[in-house]
C-alpha cells in the first residue's frame, strides 16, 4: 500500500468535503492511500466535533461515488451491509459502476473512510484492517416465563399428586 504525502496528491479535506455537504465542513484532515494491483484507493478524513454515525452518511453517498469516478448519481445503488463485523455502505454491480469495482463508505467515530477498488476481496481485507462502527448485536429474546397462577409441572404429564387429586377417577 502506498501512502503519498499530502503535497503529492493535490487535494484537500475541503475538496472531498464539498461532496459531504454540511458534514464536509467539519473535515479537518485527509489521508490518501492506494494499491496499484489490484487497484484500490482509500480516502480517510478526520472529522471535527461530534462522532459520525455510518447511517448519517446516506445522503452523501451518491456524490461521494461521483468524487471517485462513478458517473451516475444513484443513491439507491448503495446498500447498508456488514463487513468484518462493521456497519458499512457498499456499492457495486450497478450500471454506473465500472464492472468489478466495489465502493465502501463507513465511519469510525471521528473518521470517515471512502474505499474503491477492483478486487472485492482486497477491499474487504482493507475494511477489516481499519476501525469502524460495530454491527448491532441482536437483542436476546427474553426467556418465556410461566403465567401467574399456572403450575407448569402439572401441565402435560400426570404426576402422583395430579392422579390423586380429589375427583380424579
pLDDT of residue 70: 75
The grid cell for 17 is 468535503
What average pLDDT does this structure show over 5-20? 75
pTM for this structure? 0.76
What average pLDDT does this structure show over 87-93? 92
Q: Determine the Cα–Cα distance for residues 27 and 29; give it in Å rounded to an integer.
A: 6
Least confident interval from 48-57, 120-129, 151-160: 151-160
Q: Are the C-beta atoms of residues 106 and 54 closer than 8 Å to each other?
A: yes
Half-sphere exposure of 169 (CA within 13 A, CB side): 1
pLDDT of residue 9: 67
Check pLDDT > 90 for residue 89. Answer: yes
Residue that wins the pLDDT comparison between 7 and 160 = 7
Check pLDDT > 50 for residue 165. Answer: no
pLDDT of residue 130: 96
Q: What is the pLDDT of residues 93-145, one digit of tens each?
A: 777 778 888 999 999 999 999 999 999 999 999 999 999 999 988 777 787 77
Q: Which of 21, 11, 62 is nearest to 41 (CA)?
A: 11
Q: What is the dihedral angle through the alpha carbons of 26, 44, 75, 82, rounded to the nearest 10 degrees?
A: -120
Q: Determine the Cα–Cα distance for residues 60 and 23; give it in Å rounded to an integer.
A: 9
Alpha-carbon distances, residue 155 vs 60, 96, 128, 134 (angstroms): 58, 62, 51, 44
The grid cell for 50 is 461530534
pLDDT of residue 148: 60
The DSSP secondary structure of 130-149, one letter per residue, reads: S--PBPPPPPPPPPP-PPTT
Q: Determine the Cα–Cα distance for residues 146 and 134; give it in Å rounded to an integer.
A: 35
What average pLDDT does this structure show over 62-69? 79
Check pLDDT > 90 for residue 84. Answer: yes
Chain position carrying cell 475538496: 15
Q: Determine the Cα–Cα distance for residues 89 and 82; give it in Å rounded to an integer.
A: 8
The residues, ordered by sequence, that sit 6+ positions from 122 with a Cβ below 8 Å of its Cβ are 35, 38, 40
Check pLDDT > 50 for residue 166. Answer: no
Amino acid at each position: 500500500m502506498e501512502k503519498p504525502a499530502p503535497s503529492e496528491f493535490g487535494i484537500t479535506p475541503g475538496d472531498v468535503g464539498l461532496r459531504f455537504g454540511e458534514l464536509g465542513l467539519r473535515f479537518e484532515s485527509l489521508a490518501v492511500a492506494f494499491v496499484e494491483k489490484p487497484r484500490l484507493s482509500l480516502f480517510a478524513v478526520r472529522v471535527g466535533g461530534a462522532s459520525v454515525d455510518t447511517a448519517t452518511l446516506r445522503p452523501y453517498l451518491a456524490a461521494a461515488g461521483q468524487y471517485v469516478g462513478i458517473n451516475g448519481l444513484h443513491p439507491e445503488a448503495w446498500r447498508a451491509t456488514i463487513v468484518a463485523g462493521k456497519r458499512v455502505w457498499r456499492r457495486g454491480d450497478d450500471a454506473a459502476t465500472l464492472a468489478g469495482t466495489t465502493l465502501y463508505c463507513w465511519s469510525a467515530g471521528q473518521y470517515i473512510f471512502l474505499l474503491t477498488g477492483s478486487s472485492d476481496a482486497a477491499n474487504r481485507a482493507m475494511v477489516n484492517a481499519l476501525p469502524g462502527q460495530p454491527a448491532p448485536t441482536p437483542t436476546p429474546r427474553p426467556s418465556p416465563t410461566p403465567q401467574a397462577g399456572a403450575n407448569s409441572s402439572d401441565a402435560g404429564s400426570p404426576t402422583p399428586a395430579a392422579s390423586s387429586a380429589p375427583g380424579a377417577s
